[in-house]
A and B are shown apart, each in its own frame.
Chain A
Amino acid sequence: MQVNSELIDGVAVVRLHGEVDLAVREELNHVLTEIGQRSAHVVVDLADVTFMDSIGLNALTRLHAHVASRDGWVRLSGPSVPVRHLLTVVGLETTLPVFDDVDSARSA
């Protein structure tokens, strides 16, 4: 997994690449905690995520809990069909709303 992030008009945009599983849990939590501390509005772009399981969902819900306490939000962009399906199965599609791309997530 690779992560890069930037700040666009006050919104943190975090792009994840590759496979998100147990092997990257510490790194992912570390990065997302840091971003959650810096910004209350976060778009996590999943367009290049080739695999994700509950490790990723847990990290995202933790980020959501962190920013929600400051009236912030976390939005997801571009997940693959399987990842989208996963969000539905666990009922997270309202907590972590999904958008087609980063721009529509930022400006929603």
Chain B
Amino acid sequence: MSHDRASSGAPEDVVRAYEQLPIGLIAASRDRTFVTTNAAYRSLVGRSGFIGQGLDTVLPEAMAQNLVRYNERAYETGEPQVLREWRVELGDPSGGPVREVFADAVCAPWRDDDGAVIGLNCYVIDVTDRVRERRTVQETADDLERRFTHVGDWLAALQHALLPGRLPVLPDFAVGAAYMIAEQDSAAGGDWYDAVALSDGRVVLVVGDVVGHGVAATASMGRVRSVLRDRIDDGATPQDALAAIDRLAARDPAITGTTVCVAELRPDGVVDYCTAGHPPPLALEAGGQARFLALTGSQPLGSGEEMRWRSDRLKAGDSLLVYSDGLVERPGISWQASMDELDEVARRTAAGEALRDPGRNTADRICAQTLELLAREGVTDDVTLIAATRRPAPVLVALELAAEPTQVAIARREVDAWLQALGAEIDDRARILVAVSELVSNAVEHAYTDSPTPGFVHVVGELTPDGSIRLSVRDEGSWGAGPSDDLRGRGLAIVEGLLQSVAVRRDRGGTAVTVEYQIATSARLLLPGQIAGHAPDDPPRHEFSLVPADDERPVRVVGDVHEGNAEDLRTRLSRLSRGGVDALTVDLSEVTMLTSAGVAVLLQLVSVARRQGSAVELVAREGSPARYVLDVVGLPARTRF
């Protein structure tokens, strides 16, 4: 005990530190009586006089809103209980309005020297601002929802809300994305994309497509996207994260058959990627060449086979385009012709030879224009594109300015030119420029009041590897007694209100204020009607027929297989194989069109049969449309029966 005291400082210092810690702290005894609280906690809750009082008297909300349950669970399990973004409504004892507070909290058992649990130790952090900010973003999506006028467009709104509207702005890559939701409700719902920036400058691009359509597919898409993203955010390698959604898909039939392409780009240009039943990424070289990367030979998610990865390399200025099969699956055009056209169009947009579009970065232009140019005649499925261009960004701006009022505008102009060169959007720029103005003004006004000659103000802006602007304003003054204006306080409050974090450091050498703010660009959502030249005619569709097996040949599928009749194909083939019990060979050589819905059905038949210990074998003649599609998505097909 005495040793502990010596190493943890004088008791009065510990008490002072506890009281002043910027997170809320509470200790309560077993009978729910408060033992200690600190200032941050009292301020969060908006009450005082806790000590010796019962939880039910001082904080009836904790009882009413069932927070007590987590205290009880901490006692029962002996383990800390973690609450994230817990919403609490706090009443005002003096009759004011009820406050809504979001808090992160941990409640841990508090033990005596013998290890017996005598109460709970908790900390609470107010995260209300963070949650509100996120809600504002969601409301923007809601506005979009209100703009939809057709029945069923709520599905598009739902899908939009589940996709990341904001893309990172990074030192080594420009990132862009565009997507269009299918016109027919029968096809929309399953596509997603993502771009995850990591702290060492890597970026992971993802495009996936969940089988099926409608709200069920959209919900499944939301789940699989979240799991993949969350794993990567938590530090898993893309390989491990992909394995996690592969396992998820093996357990959950709604996700089985999802195709996905994951590509991890490193600042040195190395690309590690996996095409799981998904068409290959397209590399667009700065010199004007285009090439599809090799397929990795992996099956769609949940097929029970290992995910295989490959490596490739982008040179400086090259772009990588990842897209969903909706882009190549267009009415009246074979996959082969469509892939050739994609190659050509994307190459031209990358080289800036397509539409005029000033002010967009290369990756953004590739996505938006390729989508527009290829989807003009209509699409039958969702179309999603994401691209990254290897580019060196101007990661730093450094200014030394005389501490004079006229220099404030100069600081803003220089920083804004830099932000524009990075590709920052207007809202982010406006926030950062107000911060520059406030911080430089403070330094000009207050830093050198005690010195006979005005000194300098240093402004340094930096783009961090994971896409945040870190801005630091430093002076070498002493901050003497300035005018007792409320400006200083209001200025800093504004900066805090506009940006995420503000840190002030003051020492004998001067004062430095550093702010950090994550900037982003927007993905482009195109609605089918927005594309010029678009003709909303229903594409002509043909049906397929099944020719029964005879002594010479297996079952043959003849005609078109698309989202409108794929379910029918499944039912009929499933019946022929008695639910996967009997081995079955299917000849697809005479299939004239095979869309992703058809591919998904075939994959399901193959995996159901495998589970039953039987086999469904696919056969397609070299050069036939079905063979091409099966090759592109990496489904094994024999050439000849």
The stretch of A4-12, A40-48, A52-60, A99-107 that contacts the partner chain? A52-60
In the complex the two chains form, is B497's CB within 8 Å of A53's CB? no
In the complex the two chains form, is A57's CB within 8 Å of B437's CB? no
In the complex the two chains form, is B409's CB within 8 Å of A54's CB? no
Chain B 398-411, CB-CB to A under 8 Å as 1, else 0, gives: 00000001101100
Among the interface residues A21, A25, A81, which one has the most CB atoms of the partner chain B within 10 A? A21
B245 nearest CB across to chain A (Å): 38
The stretch of B487-495, B538-546, B623-631 that contacts the partner chain? B487-495
B604 nearest CB across to chain A (Å): 50
The residue that B433 contacts in the complex, of A23, A51, A58, with Cβ under 8 A, is: A51
A28 nearest CB across to chain B (Å): 12
**Chain A residues numbered 43-86 whose CB sits less than 8 Å from any CB in chain B:** 51, 53-55, 57-58, 81-82, 85-86
Q: Does A108 reach chain B (CB closer than 8 Å)?
A: no
- How far is B437's CA from A55's CA once the two chains are assembled, in angstroms? 10
In the complex the two chains form, is B498's CB within 8 Å of A89's CB? yes
Q: Does B430 reach chain A (CB closer than 8 Å)?
A: yes
A interface residues, tally (CB under 8 Å): 17
Q: Does B445 reach chain A (CB closer than 8 Å)?
A: yes
The residue that B434 contacts in the complex, of A22, A25, A58, A82, with Cβ under 8 A, is: A82
- How far is B496's CA from A90's CA once the two chains are assembled, in angstroms? 10
- How far is B436's CA from A22's CA once the two chains are assembled, in angstroms? 12
- How far is B441's CA from A86's CA once the two chains are assembled, in angstroms? 17
Q: Does A19 reach chain B (CB closer than 8 Å)?
A: yes
Q: Does B412 reach chain A (CB closer than 8 Å)?
A: yes
Among the interface residues B406, B434, B487, B498, which one has the most CB atoms of the partner chain A within 10 A? B434
- How far is B490's CA from A54's CA once the two chains are assembled, in angstroms? 7
Q: Does B114 reach chain A (CB closer than 8 Å)?
A: no
The residue that B491 contacts in the complex, of A19, A54, A81, A82, with Cβ under 8 A, is: A54
- How far is B438's CA from A86's CA once the two chains are assembled, in angstroms? 12
In the complex the two chains form, is A58's CB within 8 Å of B498's CB? no
In the complex the two chains form, is A22's CB within 8 Å of B444's CB? yes
- How far is B433's CA from A55's CA once the two chains are assembled, in angstroms? 14
Helix, strand, loop or mixed for chain B's interface?
helix
**Chain B residues numbered 478-493 whose CB sits less than 8 Å from any CB in chain A:** 485-487, 490-491, 493
A96 nearest CB across to chain B (Å): 14
- How far is B406's CA from A22's CA once the two chains are assembled, in angstroms? 8
Chain B 495-526, CB-CB to A under 8 Å as 1, else 0, gives: 00110000000000000000000000000000
- How far is B408's CA from A96's CA once the two chains are assembled, in angstroms? 26
Chain B 124-139, CB-CB to A under 8 Å as 1, else 0, gives: 0000000000000000
B471 nearest CB across to chain A (Å): 15
The residue that B441 contacts in the complex, of A22, A81, A82, A85, with Cβ under 8 A, is: A22
In the complex the two chains form, is A90's CB within 8 Å of B490's CB? yes
Q: Residues of A contacting B438 with CB < 8 Å? A: 53-54
Instruction: Give the number of A-B contacts (CB < 8 Å).
Output: 61
The residue that A22 contacts in the complex, of B405, B427, B493, B497, with Cβ under 8 A, is: B405
- How far is B431's CA from A82's CA once the two chains are assembled, in angstroms? 8
The residue that A53 contacts in the complex, of B445, B486, B493, B494, with Cβ under 8 A, is: B494
In the complex the two chains form, is B437's CB within 8 Å of A51's CB? yes
- How far is B405's CA from A61's CA once the two chains are assembled, in angstroms? 21
A82 nearest CB across to chain B (Å): 4
In the complex the two chains form, is A89's CB within 8 Å of B494's CB? yes
B454 nearest CB across to chain A (Å): 13
- How far is B431's CA from A85's CA once the two chains are assembled, in angstroms? 9
Given A86-B434, A89-B498, A90-B497, does the pair A55, B441 have CB atoms closer than 8 Å? yes
Q: Residues of B contacting A19 with CB < 8 Å? A: 409
Question: Which A residue sits closest to B437, measured CB to CB?
Answer: A53
- How far is B493's CA from A53's CA once the two chains are assembled, in angstroms? 12
- How far is B409's CA from A19's CA once the two chains are assembled, in angstroms? 8
- How far is B491's CA from A82's CA once the two chains are assembled, in angstroms? 15
**Chain B residues numbered 430-457 whose CB sits less than 8 Å from any CB in chain A:** 430-431, 433-434, 437-438, 441, 444-445
Q: Residues of A contacting B485 with CB < 8 Å? A: 58
Q: Residues of A contacting B498 with CB < 8 Å? A: 85-86, 89
In the complex the two chains form, is A58's CB within 8 Å of B409's CB? no
Q: Residues of A contacting B437 with CB < 8 Å? A: 21-22, 51, 53
Q: Residues of A contacting B433 with CB < 8 Å? A: 51
In the complex the two chains form, is A89's CB within 8 Å of B487's CB? no
Q: Residues of A contacting B491 with CB < 8 Å? A: 53-54
In the complex the two chains form, is A55's CB within 8 Å of B494's CB? no
- How far is B406's CA from A58's CA once the two chains are assembled, in angstroms? 19
The residue that A58 contacts in the complex, of B405, B408, B431, B487, with Cβ under 8 A, is: B487
In the complex the two chains form, is B490's CB within 8 Å of A22's CB? no
Q: Residues of B contacting A86 with CB < 8 Å? A: 434, 494, 498
In the complex the two chains form, is A23's CB within 8 Å of B408's CB? yes
- How far is B490's CA from A53's CA once the two chains are assembled, in angstroms? 10
Q: Residues of B contacting A25 with CB < 8 Å? A: 405
Given A22-B444, A82-B430, does the pair A54, B408 have CB atoms closer than 8 Å? no
Among the interface residues A58, A89, A90, which one has the most CB atoms of the partner chain B within 10 A? A89
The residue that B445 contacts in the complex, of A22, A57, A89, with Cβ under 8 A, is: A22
A13 nearest CB across to chain B (Å): 26
Q: Residues of A contacting B431 with CB < 8 Å? A: 82, 85
- How far is B409's CA from A21's CA once the two chains are assembled, in angstroms? 8
Question: Which B residue sits closest to A90, measured CB to CB?
Answer: B494
B395 nearest CB across to chain A (Å): 25
Question: Which A residue sits closest to B496, measured CB to CB?
Answer: A89
Given A21-B441, A90-B497, does the pair A54, B487 have CB atoms closer than 8 Å? yes
In the complex the two chains form, is B490's CB within 8 Å of A57's CB? yes
Q: Residues of A contacting B412 with CB < 8 Å? A: 21, 51
- How far is B438's CA from A85's CA once the two chains are assembled, in angstroms? 15
B220 nearest CB across to chain A (Å): 37
Q: Residues of B contacting A89 with CB < 8 Å? A: 494, 497-498
Q: Residues of A contacting B427 with CB < 8 Å? A: 81-82
In the complex the two chains form, is A21's CB within 8 Å of B494's CB? no
Q: Residues of A contacting B493 with CB < 8 Å? A: 90
A50 nearest CB across to chain B (Å): 10
- How far is B487's CA from A40's CA once the two chains are assembled, in angstroms? 25
In the complex the two chains form, is B497's CB within 8 Å of A55's CB? no
Question: Which B residue sits closest to A21, measured CB to CB?
Answer: B408
The residue that A54 contacts in the complex, of B405, B406, B430, B494, with Cβ under 8 A, is: B494
B137 nearest CB across to chain A (Å): 14
Q: List 5 A-B contacts (CB under 8 A).
A: A21-B437, A21-B441, A54-B441, A54-B490, A81-B427
**Which residues of A are interface residues toward B (Cβ below 8 A)?**
19, 21-23, 25, 51, 53-55, 57-58, 81-82, 85-86, 89-90
Nearest 6 interchain pairs by C-beta: A82-B430, A89-B497, A53-B437, A23-B405, A22-B441, A22-B405
User: 16 additional contacts, CB 8 Å, given A25-B405, A53-B437, A54-B441?
Assistant: A21-B409, A22-B405, A23-B406, A51-B409, A51-B437, A53-B434, A53-B441, A54-B487, A54-B490, A54-B491, A57-B490, A58-B490, A81-B430, A82-B431, A85-B430, A89-B494
